[in-house]
Amino acid sequence: MAVHDHDQVLVGQPLCRECYDYLGHLVWQWYAPELWRRFTIALGRALARHLGVSETACRRLVRVQFAKVAEFQRRGVVHFHALIRLDGHPTDTDPFPPPARKVSDAALVELVLQAAAEVSCEASPVDGHDVGRVLSFGRQVDVRAVHSDADREAVTGVELHPETVAAYVAKYATKAAADLADGHHRNPHLARLKRFVSKTALRSGCAGLTGLDGPYKGWGRWADMLGFRGHFASKSRRYSTTLGRLRQARRDHVRARLNKLHGGEPVRVGDDADLAELEADSTLVVGSWRFAGIGWLTAGDAALAAASAARARDD
């Protein structure tokens, strides 16, 4: 019953090293992304039942969007923090419209709890000595409503700003990175987990190096992630603008600034320092290619090559 500070080495270590289910731990990591995928499907179906319509009709009225962060605890187990939002059917003029059917905060909370409780995933045995497992979310599912500025006076709850979402993602991303770090073996438990997943993957032929197929193919490549094969941060496609659009907007911005600098066009006052820094730090990425030719570029190059080849044969 001892209480330890968060920075002590004992925090996150198993009470019984010999009794700890390392294999079950790693199987959970591997199937956690699949369990989340099934949760999103179950939530959409629960929402359709709540509205009394089919799933297809429900997607035209209300769509589930989310932003999710995977956090590693000190004991190396991954769990999810997510922001879930209901949108309407997107259009060309409004990509993030409000839902066509109103769903109360209390109803959405209940639907999330219901979907999390009913989903499960049957994990395949790792090897001939292992037994299959049925994985599901635990009892510690905490669901809270968040509100925008427009709803602040009408309801009580946590205000949600773009900065709040960014801070939320950054908090758990950095926390996960700090908890997962085991430089110089500061966390012996995590070091044993890494060795265990690599050894188990090689023993069961699922390391991805033998070319064998199976549910755990490539497991060994995720040893540094303790068997977790998902990204630490993900979102539904229409939760916000896509990363591809952001990259394209950044490329267009850099190209426009460079063209203005080198084309001799007037630059607004105050932009000189920004443009000088941009010119020094920018990297030109060539994303298109064209066929230039094959063989020697000129007849003279071809003649020299033929002469060199003839001398080589004579020698």
- Evaluate if pTM is beyond 0.75: no
Res 265 pLDDT > 70 = no
Q: pLDDT category, 147, cuts 50, 70, 90?
A: low
pLDDT tens digit sequence for 64-80: 999 888 888 888 888 89
pLDDT tens digit sequence for 280-292: 444 555 555 666 6
Res 87 pLDDT > 80 = yes
- The b-or-e profile of 224-240 (16+ CB within 10 A means b, else e) is ebbbbbbebebbbeebb
Q: What is the full DSSP assignment across 71-136? A: EE-TTS-EEEEEEEEEE----SS-SSPPPSS---HHHHHHHHHHHHHH--EEEPPSSTT---EEE-
Task: Report the alpha-carbon distance of residue 230 to residue 228 in Å, rounded.
Answer: 6
Residue with tokens 């709040």: 164
| Residue type present at position 82 | A
Domain map (residue ranges) of the chain: 22-239, 241-291
CB under 8 Å to 300, separation ≥6 — which residues? none
Contact 41, 66 (CB under 8 A): no
H or E element in which residue 40 lies? helix 22-51
pLDDT tens digit sequence for 153-179: 444 445 556 666 667 667 766 665 555
Task: Report the alpha-carbon distance of residue 191 to residue 185 in Å, rounded.
Answer: 6
Helices assigned H by DSSP within 159-271: 162-180, 188-204, 243-262
- Phi-psi domain of 226 (left: phi exceeds 0; alpha: psi -120 through 50; beta: other): left
